[in-house]
Amino acid sequence: MKGQGKKYKANREKVDSNKKYTLEEALAILDSFAKAKFDETVDIAVKLGIDAKQTDQTVRGSCGLPHGIGKKVRVAVFAKGDKVAEATQAGADVVGGDDLAEKIQGGFMDFDKVIATPDMMGVVGKLGKVLGPRGLMPNPKLGTVTMDVTKAVAEQKAGKVEFRIDKAAIVHAPVGKRSFGAQKLKDNILAIIDSINKAKPPASKGTYILGLAISSTMSPGLRVDVNSL
């Protein structure tokens, strides 16, 4: 931990906590930080000017990142009939119906995303207490409840990111790995900012995006001037 502490302190000294950087400046500083022994995930935190307690001001959506998120995404699909073979051919890691639901009830969680055909939501609905808290419940608005299983699996495998506000009206989302480099990270960040803008609720008044911060797993955060986006 001593090594990591020294690295963090050295990285911290490169950041002016009173300054808001342009996106390009922030990514350049992030790229200059001492690296960890693994390929760190880069995340953004977007502060929104909405009242998260109001149900008509919920922000939720999904975004296909141009360069993915840099990790293997394991996909589980609830399907029956010919959709089982379709899901398997599309590259799903696990496919099933009642049998898969039983495995999950028994503790099986070897997947990152869940897709379901509409006719399987009766089965999936019973898993609400297991999948819900983990943000894994399929949702039509996110494209994870669909008859187009091939498209849904391909999108999730390519690195489709789901986002939603927390109680503090902040959206947290991964945007790739440090190894991506500044340009790919910038492309991914702009794509997700665009999706967040499109998800703006009609009830939202005033400035919508108030702030943006970027950080990697082991790095300090960098504040970005949203006017530079």
Q: For each of the chain's 229 residues, which pLDDT tens digit applies?
A: 344 588 888 888 999 989 999 999 999 999 999 988 999 999 999 999 999 899 899 998 989 899 988 888 999 999 999 999 999 999 999 999 999 999 999 999 999 999 999 999 999 999 999 999 998 999 998 899 999 999 999 999 988 898 999 999 999 999 999 999 999 999 999 999 999 999 999 998 899 999 999 999 999 999 999 988 8
Radius of gyration (Cα) for the chain, nearest Å?
19
Domain-wise residue ranges, the chain: 19-68+160-228, 75-157
pTM of the model: 0.78
Contacts of 66 (CB under 8 A, 6+ apart): 184, 187, 188, 191
* 151: its two tokens: 């498209």
User: For 75-157, which CATH class?
Assistant: alpha beta
CATH architecture of 19-68+160-228: 2-Layer Sandwich (3.30)
- With beta carbons less than 8 A apart as the criterion, state whether 87 and 178 touch: no
Quickly tell me which residue has 């995006």 as its tokens.
209
